[in-house]
Amino acid sequence: MRVVLLLIAMMLLLVESGGVVKPARTAWAVSSASAAASSAPKARVDFDTQLKPIFEAKCMPCHFNGGQMYDRLPFDKPATIRKLGARLFTRIKEENDRRLIEDFLTQAP
């Protein structure tokens, strides 16, 4: 009887302390979660609030008003970004920034 009580007490301590190992996710659960995420529609990328700050941080002052490249390649205009496409990635290295730009390029204007 003492052994049973001791085992129950140890299990309760493990549960309370978070020491119980949670079961690993099965391959089925992982693939169905991935499928659900990929089938969800992507949120629209807004040029002014999401992309323009990236370009201001990386391409200022040359490609913004008053800069020496502004007349040829104004980065405050979505049409310029669409025209350049992936060539922007020579300066934009962060993966999250690249992903946002790629999503913007693939969405309808």
What whole-number percentage of the chain has pLDDT above 90? 57
Residues 6+ positions from 79 with CB-CB distance below 8 Å: none
DSSP state of 50: I
pLDDT band at 1 (very low <50, low <70, confident <90, very high): confident
Query: Distance between CA atoms of 101 and 106, rounded to whole angstroms?
Result: 9
pLDDT at residue 12 in the model: 65
pLDDT at residue 101 in the model: 96
Alpha carbon separation from 23 to 10, 20, 46, 91, 106 (Å, rounded): 19, 9, 40, 43, 39
Per-residue pLDDT tens digits for 43-80: 899 999 999 999 999 999 999 999 999 999 999 999 99
Q: Reply yes or no on whether the pLDDT at 32 is more than 60.
A: no
Higher pLDDT, 33 or 45: 45
CA 95 to chain centre: 8
Per-residue pLDDT tens digits for 2-21: 776 666 766 666 556 555 55
